[in-house]
Chain A
């Protein structure tokens, strides 16, 4: 026991996946009775770090001290027994069993070989009472709200005598009141001397509840600081890895904007989608690349999917090609001339076992048929044309798409839309996970298409891409459009300031509701 040292020290943690570095000398330190925030962009290594800590992954290097003792858990269960509990975003409890059963699952109290229900129910109620949660512990867990279910998960963690509780985006499915309750619980944990690691994308929340923050980027720990010593802008800058002014020029395949914008192809405003988007709007004209910037969790993808009809919005107006239509299904948006390349190519884009040919023509196929029979000559003609135009590298059009590199898969998906001659193309992270050469090719292609009159709405986490590529930039923060910059006013500092924006302030030129 070392009462004065930190509760947890992770030092120089390395982790590689098939040669790719996921963690490079990452550091994390948590004191007892402290709430430590861990923030970073997608792929920064936050969840890998947590998984290394709880034994879900084996580390390739580095040391972990818990309570002064070196530890090396074989599994999350072992970590739980050792005093480290994790509360996941999706609650992994048993919905049909009672609250008490869930709390004691796996180490039920027994009496004469039988389950001691009386004792378990009493203890469960007592544990929950510590958080001022007064519910009937006999009821099945699923009858309660997500927030209460989370409390139960936390109570379960404490019943394991947890000394360190990890919360992985616990607030993403909670409403504001529930978040407030959760924060109360976190503060109580702190008062009881428990260490808390809090992972979230919502910057506001950090300042409400955390003591310190660790910023991760590209598998490294890039900053650790007391909350009181940073502001949102500094946090954003360090997450994105930018000095506030310096952005490398000419680092993307985008040539300068040509500027000649045509008719409006998209106008959306006042969009509300679930709990994540609360008043977002964008506008795209023909021949324009419009950037949609924002931190992870700011609602960018949700806005894109709403416009495309994949998840229709709860409220708001969408005008496509000058017509007031809110598509209810992607097929409706496609019929209007909209295309959408999703952020997750594997889950939402490719049909892995189909050939490049079939993946390209998946959308246009209905137009290539006579009496329901595919006209293979026309199909081949289109495939050949777009494979050479986009320089898609495959052994042949018949190669399965899953065997292609990420960049070529992305080109196939672009071809899928381009062959339908859309008026508006929504690109969600078009160059994520793509090697440098293919990235520049795709960027210059996007510019070329825009110059030919295509309207492009481009979501990107890369500031260079937005700054150099976009003719106009909308910035989302916490589900709201907080800024709208013309190309001339776009710079890294302005965008980062908007990303870190306090949602209550007003921005000229943007409607609030």
Chain B
């Protein structure tokens, strides 16, 4: 009755700010593609697409978990280190006496165990955060530092070199010409987007990020939701670690996943997921990662050095954050 007018005006007004925030990455991507088709030699080729998709796949896989974490209002700095652990563990398994004796079982376990271990470390992050009410950035800093150490201790700091076609299918194989890691990436993006939209868990993730106190008072198991989110982030990092060592045919716990946490956070930011939690777009994250990758490729393909590409990457992130700010204030 008395309050009807405010509702109708607000509901009907076109929200330019949120439209801009949501589609800024898409628009930038379209512009970049158009530029490349016009300028970059040999851009419109299957190979260019494959190169770009292959390079972006690991970032996207990690970013999917990161998106869920950020949707709860948290952050996960440990993903790069968890990649190193998973990447170090896999060759240890299939190169072991047991792995050589039973190659098929060894290869299977070399997939399952590292990913599970990374997931458990992720669950540890979640437990640490919820049990002791530690800020996520501090709690995950623990494994960010210790994780890489754990990976090096497992391998005695040695570089593990290997050639194992079955295991390496994860990084080098193709399905109908599409690189296998790209397939994994697309499946994970689709699964996460669907989970956020349609499942109880997804809705609870967003409600915890949207208003944790209200969610708790409505009976949402806040602590368990958070633990699962960090566990999923760990699982994603574990998969990404396997992809990276497969591509390299070697595992160096010192280098696998180095700086990945920042690339993933950047992809989420550019993709339009606010860091305050409560809203998330996995597809946006995919677009964000593609945008960053394409900018880098465009600059390199046109002879701009990598160092300059980093500056441009920073500028994109700044631009994304700026557009988010606009979305919030207006």
Contact = CB atoms under 8 A, between A and B. Distances in A.
A184 interface: no
Given A310-B217, A362-B207, A403 B199 contact: no
Nearest to B10: A403
Interface stretch (A33-41, A216-224, A252-260, A434-442): A434-442
A447 interface: no
B73 to A, nearest CB: 12
A369 B199 contact: yes
Contact of A395 (B2, B11, B200): B11
Interface string B217-250: 1111100000000000000000000000000000
Given A353-B278, A394-B7, A348 B214 contact: yes
A376 B197 CA distance: 11
B128 interface: no
B224 to A, nearest CB: 10
B87 to A, nearest CB: 31
Interface residues of B, number: 31
Given A365-B200, A374-B199, A438-B2, A351 B211 contact: yes
Nearest to B277: A353
A358 B215 CA distance: 12
Given A342-B217, A416-B218, A374 B198 contact: yes
Contact of A394 (B11, B211, B216, B217): B11
Interface in A345-378: 347-354, 358, 362-363, 365-366, 369, 372-374, 376
B149 interface: no
B7 A393 contact: yes
A405 interface: yes
Contacts, number: 103
Nearest to A434: B3
B4 interface: yes
Contacts of B218: 330, 334, 362-363, 416
Contacts of A348: 213-214, 217
A373 B203 contact: no
A114 B37 CA distance: 65
A347 B213 CA distance: 7
Contact of B216 (A310, A369, A395): A310
Interface residues of A, number: 42
Nearest to B12: A395
Contacts of B217: 308, 310, 330, 340, 342, 348-349
A399 interface: yes
Contacts of A329: 216
Contacts of B215: 351, 362
Contacts of B211: 347, 350-352
B8 interface: yes
A497 interface: no
A351 B198 contact: no
A395 B7 contact: yes
A340 B219 CA distance: 10
A185 to B, nearest CB: 34
Contact of B200 (A342, A374, A405): A374
Given A358-B207, A362-B203, A362-B207, 14 more contacts: A329-B216, A347-B214, A351-B206, A353-B210, A353-B279, A362-B215, A362-B218, A362-B220, A365-B200, A373-B198, A373-B199, A395-B12, A407-B3, A408-B3
Interface of B: 1-4, 6-8, 10-12, 198-201, 203-204, 206-207, 210-211, 213-221, 278-279
Which 8 pairs across A and B sit closest by C-beta, in order of nearness? Answer: A395-B11, A405-B3, A351-B210, A334-B219, A331-B219, A362-B218, A363-B218, A403-B10
14 contacts: A308-B217, A331-B220, A331-B221, A342-B217, A348-B213, A348-B214, A352-B211, A354-B210, A362-B218, A372-B200, A374-B200, A436-B2, A437-B2, A438-B2
